[in-house]
Amino acid sequence: MATGQLFSRSTQALFYNFKQSPIQRMLDFDFLCARELPSVAGIVNPGSDGFQKLFFGQEEIAVPVYGSVVAGCKAHPTADVFINFASFRSAFASSMEALKQPTIRVVAIIAEGVPEGDAKKLIAYARANNKVVIGPATVGGMQAGAFKIGDTAGTLDNIVSCKLYRPGSVGFVSKSGGMSNEMYNVLARATDGLYEGIAIGGDVFPGSTLSDHVLRFNNIPQIKLIVVLGELGGTDEYSLVEALQQGRVHKPVVAWVSGTCAKLFKSEVQFGHAGAKSGGDLESAQGKNKALKEAGAIVPTSFESLEAVIKDTFEKLVASGVIIPVVDVTPPIVPEDLNIAVKNGKVRAPTHIVSTICDDRGEEPTYAGVPISNIIEKEFGVGDVISLLWFKKNLPRYATKFIEMCIILCADHGPCVSGAHNSIVTSRAGKDLVSCLVSGLLTIGPRFGGAIDDAARYFKDAYDRQLNPHEFVETMKKKGIRVPGIGHRIKSRDNRDKRVEFLQKYARLHFPSVKYMEYAVQVETYTLTKANNLVLNVDGAIGSLFLDLLVSCAMFNQQEIDDIVEIGYLNGLFVLARSIGLIGHTFDQKRLKQPLYRHPWEDVLYA
């Protein structure tokens, strides 16, 4: 067991099992104390590495993450404290591994409920190798103005009110972490504050004892007064009684053992900690307080009078010149996290993303205000979901059925078209699904599958300007622009595209108006006089019919319709639909275990 100071302003730790809140609290404490270096040198997360972003004052820093204890210790040989936030199931293995590292002097085990057999092994190894174990079942410990473990001392507000940002003259040790926080407040009121505080933990077998730390405090020149808070159960306090009787402690010790109320119960009572249970007179709070007082400790008559006794003892030490009270300083202000400041109404922060189509903050997600449960219960189809997420409207069923027809009819057009060919080649190159899909999607544009928006745009402009088909086509010809939605490499006057016929038939039966489609048919009649394959293709059919849908359903104003066409909603239908086919081609090639594709020489003109 160490015989002197455990921590200093240069102490650095390795933190096991990443927990953002306690690490950030340590770094905030560092800033409050004006430390030059962060006290957390690195984080050990088994099986992972990289870094975690945290704040050191105003500055955002990257704290390295290591996949093993050995790697962390090797990278940071000056980090001699190991803070273990592992669960009680794995705390033994990780703590023992840390104790075996030559660079580690102190191991703090936060977990409660570590098996007693494991705790005994850790204690034996630590004592045999002159190392310190704090815990299990501890909040940790701290040196005021220098270093703290995890959540020790609680919030920043509590740390400031307890003046823990600078060292005082009192050494304090307790079994309880919660009571330590309370006692830090007491010490700030009754004395010039804490120098070092340790919570040894409430389990039956703590890694270090009350007397271990009292004897350390006795060897630290800056500590002039020692305060001990014990509890009923066990016999740990008697090792302190023995040290006092042997004259090994030369500084005033104010001590109190809590749990005197246990005498009011007729049977044995288990209090909060595993080791805090009322047993015989030897383990009772009254018995321990009596023994401590007889050994020379200053023991109050009750916990309520503890603060007054500490204050009186401190003032006597000041009067005798043993203590020169520490002059207080004003600590720096730790920047507040933005989310906390916003929550407390201190600042206004603009959002970075705006979403109007869905909301996932409630009990269930909503699409355009419609709960998912409603969508399922009312048996909405894919077209209905698209109407909510794309158009933010619950379109009539004939409209959503038309959307679904477009997806079905455009899902695939064979392996020879550009998109499918690209996906097939990429799949045969052994690439993953997303790569294969994207390689096919990237071919979609004005020459392949991307003419729906242009067809809608040009047909709408021509119809709204009341151009007859001859004027429209010839004007486009003069501009050197092919009419989008007109023309097919295979289909012709005598070999019509069945997809176009299906869409036209459905629209004539269900749409209130098909004026744009009829205009497109008139354009087709004119273009067929020029060439047999200048038929209305599926892009032109979808583009013109979607205009009819938007206009005739009476749910969109003119500006909304113009925006839909301009933004590219209609090409979105083709992208969504064709993704189904591209994924199918990708899976098909992988299922068939097709080899790497190489284009044949005879199909290339080498010019």
What CATH number should be reported for the domain holding residue 185? 3.40.50.261
Q: Is 603 contained in some domain?
A: no
- What pLDDT is attached to residue 339? 84
Which one of 296, 320, 344 terminates a domain? 320
* 268: confidence class by pLDDT, cuts 50, 70, 90: low
- What pLDDT is attached to residue 259? 82
Same domain assignment for residues 397 and 463: no
Which one of 261, 291, 320 terminates a domain? 320
Q: Token digits for 104?
A: 């580690």
- What pLDDT is attached to residue 601? 94
% the chain with pLDDT above 90: 86
Q: Which H or E run contains 470?
A: helix 469-478
Q: Is 70 contained in some domain?
A: yes
Helices marked H in 260-394 — which ranges? 285-295, 306-319, 338-343, 372-377, 382-391
Same domain assignment for residues 300 and 446: no
Number of domains in the chain: 3
Residue 158 has pLDDT above 80, yes or no: yes
Residue 392: give the domain boundaries.
358-401
- Sole residue written with tokens 């199931």: 89
Mean pLDDT of 201-226: 95
Same domain assignment for residues 428 and 568: yes
- What pLDDT is attached to residue 266? 53
- What pLDDT is attached to residue 204? 87
- What pLDDT is attached to residue 234? 85
Q: Is 17 contained in some domain?
A: yes
Which one of 401, 431, 459 terminates a domain? 401
Higher-pLDDT residue of 532, 450: 532
Higher-pLDDT residue of 320, 342: 320
Query: Under DSSP, is residue 583 helix (H, G, I), strand (E, B) or coil?
Result: helix
% the chain with pLDDT above 70: 96
Give the catalytic positions in this structure: 273
Same domain assignment for residues 292 and 385: no
Same domain assignment for residues 363 and 463: no
Q: Is 279 contained in some domain?
A: yes
- What pLDDT is attached to residue 269? 55
Same domain assignment for residues 396 and 474: no
Mean pLDDT of 530-556: 95
Q: What Cα–Cα distance (Å) separates residue 445 from each residue in 268, 427, 435, 452, 480? A: 81, 21, 18, 10, 18
- What pLDDT is attached to residue 407? 95
Tell me the per-residue pLDDT of 53-77, one tens digit each, with 9 for 90 and over: 999 999 999 999 999 999 999 999 9
CA distance 193 to 326: 8
Tell me the per-residue pLDDT of 233-242, one tens digit each, with 9 for 90 and over: 888 899 999 9
Mean pLDDT of 378-399: 96
Same domain assignment for residues 285 and 367: no
Tell me the per-residue pLDDT of 425-465, one tens digit each, with 9 for 90 and over: 999 999 999 999 999 999 998 778 778 989 999 999 999 99
Residue 202 has pLDDT above 90, yes or no: no
Q: Is 257 contained in some domain?
A: yes
* 316: confidence class by pLDDT, cuts 50, 70, 90: very high
Give the pTM. 0.71
Residues in the chain: 607
* 275: confidence class by pLDDT, cuts 50, 70, 90: very low
Mean pLDDT of 479-485: 92
Question: Which residues lie closer than 8 Å to 376 by C-beta, 6 or more apart?
Answer: none
Buried b / exposed e across 246-283, counting CB within 10 Å, b at 16+?
A: eeebebbbbbbbbbbebeeeeeebebebbbbbbeeeeb
Q: Is 314 contained in some domain?
A: yes
Same domain assignment for residues 374 and 427: no
Same domain assignment for residues 369 and 516: no
Same domain assignment for residues 396 and 295: no
Q: Is 345 contained in some domain?
A: no
Residue 328: what are its φ and ψ, rounded to 5°?
-70, 155
Same domain assignment for residues 432 and 561: yes
Residue 279 has pLDDT above 60, yes or no: no
Residue 38 has pLDDT above 90, yes or no: yes
- What pLDDT is attached to residue 447? 78
Q: Is 214 contained in some domain?
A: yes
CA distance 370 to 359: 10
Helices marked H in 33-169 — which ranges? 69-75, 91-99, 116-128, 156-161
Same domain assignment for residues 309 and 443: no
Q: Token digits for 185?
A: 């407040």
Q: What is the mean pLDDT of the chain?
A: 93
Instruction: Please classify residue 226 by burial: count the beta carbons closer than 10 Å to its beta carbon, then call 0-12 exposed, 13-18 middle and 19+ buried.
Output: buried
CA distance 29 to 154: 10
Tell me the per-residue pLDDT of 561-585, one tens digit each, with 9 for 90 and over: 999 999 989 889 999 999 999 999 9
Mean pLDDT of 528-554: 95
